[in-house]
């Protein structure tokens, strides 16, 4: 199956809104069926999805379900990500010359969005452990102009080692956290603390304004490995996907662990509602949720 087949399918699906029932059925079920019949391959098949309506140009491996889904439904996913709360927070927060750190960057949508906001004088550092997804991140970053994105094929946690990295069936929930029956396989990946990464590479973190952490259950350990960086960066805001007691079976209640580390440093936890910050306590986060952790020197103006 060549480029023409994928292009034809995309011409039929790209206008469908993902969040509506028809779009969801095609997005998930049809993609899975086509993958099993024809398209799930070991060897990569790279295709470029051009920039459109705010979504950056992406080079995607359509032999994989995750990247093929984004190729087919690029407009819907563009609206889903770039009209969402994190993208709006980034737009209201980041200015030219600042640094954005994307931990668990996946295909790099937020990294490339940030690169446009911080400009050529700013910097984006994007960490993605999965080598197949990382390759798309690297290629896509190169498509979008002069490199202000530093792409790192590395996992961040509270230790420096080589660890088992578990790969989900659809590619969107890969993790260092094991769980029987959830994954299709595993690989070994390098793991480092953010503190040690910065020391090893000599990275200037003085202009870090915002960090996004989406590490599928590893968030408490990832935060524990960056205390030195947070101090050096004068307490940047942290946007973290956390889990309450009912938010995960493989890593329940990671919010409590993140809060336990950050609260003594002066951070508070908030729901960010288009500029309004609603404080949350440990009991308020029950399921999986994106929470903004902001330091008292910033949250109070």
Place of tokens 């947070």: 230
**DSSP code, position 144:** T
Name all domains of the chain by residue range, CATH numbers in brackets: 3-79 (no CATH), 95-299 (3.40.50.150)
Check residue 24 and give its pLDDT: 52
Residue 38, token pair as written in the block:
């024809």
Helices then strands (H, E): number in the chain? 13, 13
pTM: 0.92
| Among 170, 174, 169, CA closest to 184 | 169
What is the residue-level pLDDT of the chain in tens, covering all 301 positions?
578 888 887 887 777 665 444 445 455 666 666 666 667 777 888 989 888 777 888 999 988 888 888 888 877 777 778 889 999 999 999 999 999 999 999 999 999 999 999 998 999 999 999 999 999 999 999 888 655 799 999 999 999 999 999 998 777 789 999 988 888 899 999 999 999 999 999 999 999 999 999 999 999 999 999 999 999 999 999 999 999 999 999 999 999 999 999 999 999 999 999 889 999 999 999 999 999 999 999 755 4
Say what the pLDDT of residue 52 is: 77
CA dihedral 67, 68, 69, 72 (to 10 degrees): 130
CA angle 187, 255, 65 (to 5 degrees): 35
**Residues in Cβ contact with 87 at an 8 Å cutoff, skipping those fewer than 6 apart:** 81, 110, 113
From the list 129, 134, 207, the residue with the least C-alpha distance to 175 is 129
3-state helix, strand, coil in the chain (%, to 5): 40, 25, 35
pLDDT tens for residues 50-70? 887 778 889 999 888 888 888
Task: Look at residue 129 in the predicted model and tell me its pLDDT.
Answer: 97
Q: In this predicted structure, what is the pLDDT of residue 65?
A: 81
pLDDT per residue over 127-151, tens digit each?
Answer: 999 999 999 999 999 888 655 799 9
Please work out, in degrees rounded to the nearest 5, the angle formed at the alpha carbon of residue 115 by the alpha carbons of 66 and 213.
Answer: 55
At residue 94, the pLDDT reads 96
């Amino acid at each position: 199956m060549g480029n023409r087949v994928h292009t034809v399918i995309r011409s039929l699906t790209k206008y469908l809104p993902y969040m509506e029932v028809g779009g969801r059925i095609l997005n998930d079920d049809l993609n899975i069926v086509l993958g099993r019949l024809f398209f799930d391959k070991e060897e990569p098949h790279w295709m470029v999805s051009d920039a459109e309506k705010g979504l950056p140009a992406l080079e995607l491996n359509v032999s994989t379900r995750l990247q093929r889904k984004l190729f087919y439904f690029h407009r819907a996913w563009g609206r889903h990500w770039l009209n969402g709360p994190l993208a709006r927070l980034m737009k209201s927060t980041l200015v030219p010359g600042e640094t954005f750190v994307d931990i668990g960057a996946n295909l790099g949508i937020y990294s490339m969005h940030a690169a446009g906001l911080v400009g050529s004088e700013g910097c984006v550092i994007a960490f993605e452990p999965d080598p197949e997804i990382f390759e798309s991140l690297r290629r896509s970053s190169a498509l979008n102009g002069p490199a202000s994105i530093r792409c790192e094929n590395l996992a961040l946690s509270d230790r420096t080692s080589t660890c088992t990295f578990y790969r989900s069936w659809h590619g969107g929930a890969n993790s260092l956290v094991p769980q029987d029956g959830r994954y299709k396989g595993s690989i070994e990946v390098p793991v480092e603390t953010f503190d040690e990464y910065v020391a090893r590479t000599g990275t200037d973190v003085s202009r870090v304004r915002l960090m996004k952490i989406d590490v599928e259950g590893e968030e408490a350990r990832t935060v524990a490995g960056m205390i030195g960086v947070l101090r050096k960066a004068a307490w940047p805001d942290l946007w973290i996907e956390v889990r309450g007691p009912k938010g995960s079976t493989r890593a329940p209640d990671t919010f409590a662990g993140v809060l336990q580390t950050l609260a003594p440093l002066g951070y508070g936890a908030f729901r960010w509602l288009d500029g309004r910050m609603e404080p949350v306590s440990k009991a308020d986060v029950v399921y999986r949720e994106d929470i903004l952790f902001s330091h008292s020197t910033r949250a109070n103006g």
